[in-house]
């Protein structure tokens, strides 16, 4: 004899400690079991795409900082790559290496934050967050050395980077890169075999491989489901084909795999950094690009492997100083398409941590 129950709608509203920003979910619950999830976004919509149509190509770079504000320089990187593809600009070698160094350090920073807050959602009371923040603070000091900013860097320019790195940057970076493997091992040792973490995340909220491909998931979410697709290897941009690194791929596609893939990617980023620092040449850091760039008529889609997935910029030019159409392909909005599939049948607690494992950033979703 079953008890008659009635599902109720819980609004995990825009203000919630664990929704990683202003994100709203209307969750239909039957007791503790999730029956339906409807994400509602748009609380951070600032109209960046419309703003882009009335700004010059260089003026859009600070706008792109505000997309994924956790890893801002990768947004800059993707955008200037798209513009260089559109206008056919070549950039100097040193600039390419500096861009790679910045991109990979941003990847480590973003993944550390993602793992830290994933564990915070699990209930570990900020302890993993603060351990990972130690290293991230040193990284933010490095960025401050280079461009004076800790959050929205505005460092990349069309044709290179805005200025060369100061002399104290390289020794500090080398010291940080030398220490990182030990710290990543420390996090791994503290976390990966933790009983409660394994019980809460193994086999929970699985994203099957075919669904992941069909919804065009990208980044760690796709790789955790067993698809070996990383734009740095599949469609190498900048000078990624000169470096030697592996791509970690998960097996099942549960929350634990998404966490594990990010941890391993941080290790691989350290490998790339060591090689980039060793091969860094001297030279200019910025190509000679006109102040008000007028690319030829046409369109281009430039995409990179951002820490959260495939970040793409679609630019249409009509030979004026501002783009005719400026579209951003947000990785996390598209990864969110699968939230309902993953979560139905599990409990409220699993909903929160699955959402944390997708690692959204609202600036990117809402633009």
Partner 1 sequence: MTTALKGEQVARTITKALPDSVAAADSMSVVVASQSLYQVAEFLKNTPELDFDYLANLTAVDYMGYFEVVYHLVSLEHNHSLVLKTRCHGRDKPTVPSLVKIWRSADLQEREVYDLMGIVFDGHPNLKRLLLWEGFVGHPLRRDYL
Partner 2 sequence: MTLLEQFQLWLGGVWPDWAAYIVPGIVGILIVLAFVVISVIIFIWYERRLLGRFQVRLGPNRLGPEGIFQPIATAVKILLKEDIVPAKGDKIVHWLAPVIVFVPVLLIFAVVPFREGAILTDLNVGIVYVVAISSISTVGIYMAGWASNNKYALIAALRTVAQMVSYELPVVLAILGVVLMTGSLSMTQIVAAQDVPFAVLQPLGFVIFFLGTVAEMNRSPFDLLEADSEIVAGYHIEYSGMKFAMFFLGEYGHALAYSCIITTLFLSGWQGPLLPPIIWFLIKVIAVFSVIVWMRATLPRLRVDQLMSFAWKGLLPMAIINLFIIAAEVLWLPEIAPWIIVAINFVFAIVLVLLWSRLFTLGGGRVEV
Q: Where does this chain bind partner 2 (CB under 8 A)?
A: 8, 10, 16-18, 29-30, 32-35, 119-127, 130-131, 134, 194-197, 199-200, 202-204, 344-350, 352
Dist. CA 354–CA 72, nearest whole Å: 24
* Partner interacting with residue 279 (select from partner 1, partner 2, none; CB below 5-8 Å by kind): none
Q: Which of residues 303-322 bind partner 1 (CB under 8 A)?
A: 303, 310, 312, 314, 316
Q: Is 42 in the site for partner 1 (CB under 8 A)?
A: yes
Minimum CB separation of residue 338 from partner 1 in Å reads 8
Minimum CB separation of residue 201 from partner 2 in Å reads 9
* Partner interacting with residue 10 (select from partner 1, partner 2, none; CB below 5-8 Å by kind): partner 2
Q: Rg of the chain over CA atoms, in angstroms?
A: 21
Q: Is 327 in the site for partner 1 (CB under 8 A)?
A: yes
Read off the DSSP letter of residue 242.
G
Please identify which residue in 22, 35, 216, 348 interacts with partner 1, judged by CB under 8 A: 216
Q: Which long-range contacts (CB under 8 A, 24 or more apart) does 49-56 make?
A: 49/326, 49/327, 49/328, 49/367, 52/322, 52/323, 52/326, 53/322, 53/323, 53/324, 53/325, 53/326, 54/322, 55/322, 56/292, 56/293, 56/321, 56/322
**Three-state secondary-structure class, residue 59:** coil
Read off the DSSP letter of residue 286.
B
Q: Which of residues 218-237 bind partner 1 (CB under 8 A)?
A: 227, 229, 234-236
Check: CB of residue 281 under 8 Å from CB of residue 93: yes
Minimum CB separation of residue 8 from partner 2 in Å reads 6
Q: Compare residues 71 and 227 and give the one whose CB is closer to partner 1.
A: 227
From 76, 148, 142, 96, select the one nearest 304 (Cα to Cα). Answer: 76
Dist. CA 85–CA 101, nearest whole Å: 21
Contacts with partner 1 by CB under 8 A lie at: 41-42, 45, 47, 49-50, 211, 213-216, 227, 229, 234-236, 298-299, 301, 303, 310, 312, 314, 316, 324-325, 327, 329, 333-334, 336-337, 366-367
């Amino acid at each position: 004899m079953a008890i008659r129950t009635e599902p109720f709608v819980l609004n995990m509203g825009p203000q919630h400690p664990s929704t990683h920003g202003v994100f709203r979910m209307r969750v239909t619950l039957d007791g503790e079991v999730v029956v339906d999830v409807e994400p509602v976004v748009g609380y951070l919509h600032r109209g960046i795409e419309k703003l882009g149509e009335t700004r010059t190509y260089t003026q859009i770079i600070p706008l792109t900082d505000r997309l994924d504000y956790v890893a801002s320089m990768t947004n800059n990187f993707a955008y200037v790559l798209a513009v260089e593809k559109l206008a056919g600009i070549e950039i100097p070698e040193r600039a390419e290496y500096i861009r790679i160094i910045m991109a990979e350090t941003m990847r480590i920073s973003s993944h550390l934050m993602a793992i830290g807050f994933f564990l915070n959602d699990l209930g570990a009371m900020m302890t993993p967050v603060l351990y990972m923040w130690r290293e991230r603070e040193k990284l933010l000091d490095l960025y401050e050395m280079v461009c004076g900013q800790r959050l929205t860097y505005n460092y990349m320019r069309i044709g290179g980077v805005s200025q060369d790195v100061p002399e104290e940057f390289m020794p500090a970076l080398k010291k940080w890169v030398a220490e990182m493997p030990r710290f990543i091992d420390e996090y791994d040792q503290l976390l990966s075999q933790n009983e409660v973490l394994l019980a809460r995340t193994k086999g929970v909220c699985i994203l099957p491989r075919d669904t992941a491909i069909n919804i065009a998931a990208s980044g760690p979410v796709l790789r955790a489901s067993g698809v070996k697709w990383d734009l740095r290897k599949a469609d190498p941009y900048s000078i990624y084909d000169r470096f030697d690194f592996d791509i970690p791929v998960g097996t099942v596609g549960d929350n634990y795999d998404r966490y594990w893939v990010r941890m391993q990617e941080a290790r691989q980023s350290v490998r790339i950094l060591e090689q980039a620092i060793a091969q860094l040449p001297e030279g200019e850091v910025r190509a000679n690009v006109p102040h008000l760039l007028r690319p030829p008529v046409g369109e281009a889609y430039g995409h990179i492997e951002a820490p959260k997935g495939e970040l793409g910029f679609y630019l249409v030019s009509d030979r004026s100083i501002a783009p005719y159409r400026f579209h951003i392909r947000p990785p996390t909005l598209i990864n969110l398409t699968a939230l309902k599939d993953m979560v139905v049948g599990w409990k409220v607690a699993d909903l929160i941590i699955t959402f944390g494992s997708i690692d959204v950033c609202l600036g990117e979703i809402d633009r």
